[in-house]
Amino acid sequence: MVNTHFYLKYFHSWNAEDVSISCERGNCTRKETCRNHGAKSPFIQFRSSPRFKGSHSINNLSCLGNGLSLKLSELLNPYSRNKRCYCFEILQHLEYTKGFNKPKRLPSKNHLPTHSAFLSVTLKSKSPFIDSHCHLDFLFQRQKFSGTYAEYQVKHKNTYPPNYQGCVAVFCKPSTFSKKSEWNQYLEEENVWGAFGCHPHNAEDYDDSVEEALICALSHPQVRALGEIGLDYSDRNRCRKEVQHQVFRRQLKIAYASQLSLIIHCREADEDCIKILQEFLPEDYAFHLHCFTENWNWAQKWMEAFPRVYIGITNLVTYSSAKPTHEVVKNIPLNHLLLETDAPYFLPRKISKRIRWSHPGMAIYVAAQIAALRNITLEEVLYWTYENTRKMYKI
């Protein structure tokens, strides 16, 4: 039997009952149903909201169907805009986006696909990716895990895609800067790079001794950036604005003097954050604008002020409520994007509800959703974000 791979011909009019497809060889066109190819209804959705920091409830999350058995063919050059070819794998991402407005349920929980089924069927990709922002120390604390990160990956191997290539571990709690025994174990791991900086939530804990410990930690050979630092005017931050400004400026002086890359935390403070950054940095300074949640208008202002800014997108993008993030993802040039989990926060929407915390391997869900929203291949997203991460963090 000839091993023929089928590609979507008219993806905009696709539905689960009637699919117009064409043979890869180009010599036949016929109509098939999704079920004829072994696919069940591709999406099971539950009303949910992302796990934000500080939430103690377990999400009800939606998952992709696991009936699709088509092999992911070698795609055409994903970087050519004249040669776009979408296989059923990419089609599932497209349908997932459509499903935001038309939630579906299957009648029995027995139909829920496993996380590993999603990875093995929907995300068959060899393109590497790196999680550009996570908190391994917080993740281990929440899961009460005392082993190494390599042991953690083995324990959770079913939820780490084979193309996962590492992470940037961010340490933002001032009390840990001087405790090398608490963070050095992570930086001794293969493909783990570090960043240190005082989070704006902890600005009132910053003093001369903390700054001395910070400078010492930044000298570690695996450290690639100073951060996350910045301003947070949200209701969740009780630190006074003037203290945040002072601590932000002190750390910017350190970053510029050492020419370290920066990770910026900015929440409801974009105007002030841009203004302070412009006081200390030239416009061509590269930095990671972490966990961006503002609209496209603000994204444009950031890129106009700092043309080399990289904007980090988390798994918040997988939720229907994140309309501003969707707008940004659809419009931003790919050479400005980074994938990040902010683990252990922001669980992907479609993951099993048995999983309580996100981890660096789940950055692949961000890439999948970006591909869906932009109607491009997953390979293209992974290529650009991987290259951006390497440039930003000098990996």
Specify if 237 maps to a domain.
yes
| pLDDT of 293 | 96
Q: What is the structure's pLDDT at 124?
A: 72
Q: What local confidence, expressed as pLDDT, does residue 370 receive?
A: 96
Nearest Cα residue to 267 out of 303, 242, 291: 291
What CATH number did the domain enclosing 146 receive?
3.20.20.140
Task: Indicate the number of domains in the chain.
Answer: 1
- Parts of the chain with a pLDDT under 50: 1-118, 121-122
C-alpha distances in angstroms, 257 versus 30, 215, 307, 374? 64, 11, 21, 39
Chain center to CA of 160: 14
Q: Is 62 contained in some domain?
A: no
41 to 26, 38, 102, 121: CA distances (angstroms): 27, 10, 13, 14
**The pLDDT of residue 14:** 35
Distance CA 269, CA 233 (A): 6
Q: Is residue 357 part of a domain?
A: yes
Pairwise CA distance, residues 296 & 234, whole Å: 20
Only one residue has tokens 């029995």, namely 108
Q: Please, are residues 170 and 132 in contact by the beta-carbon 8 Å criterion? A: no
Q: What pLDDT is attached to residue 119?
A: 53
pLDDT, one tens digit per residue, over 328-351 is 999 999 999 999 999 999 999 878
In a domain, 163, yes or no: yes
User: What is the extent of the structural domain holding 237?
Assistant: 125-393
User: Is 53 inside any structural domain?
Assistant: no
* End-to-end Cα, the chain, rounded Å: 45
pTM score? 0.71
pLDDT digits (tens, 9 = 90+) for 312-327: 999 999 999 999 999 9
* Residue 302 belongs to some domain of the structure: yes
Would you state the pLDDT for residue 126?
85
The Cα 299–Cα 285 span in angstroms is 16
Other beta carbons within 10 Å of 110: 6
- Domain membership of residue 369 (yes or no) is yes
140 within some domain = yes
Question: Which residues have CB under 8 Å from 38's CB, separation 6+?
Answer: 67, 68, 69, 70
Strand partners, 31: 20
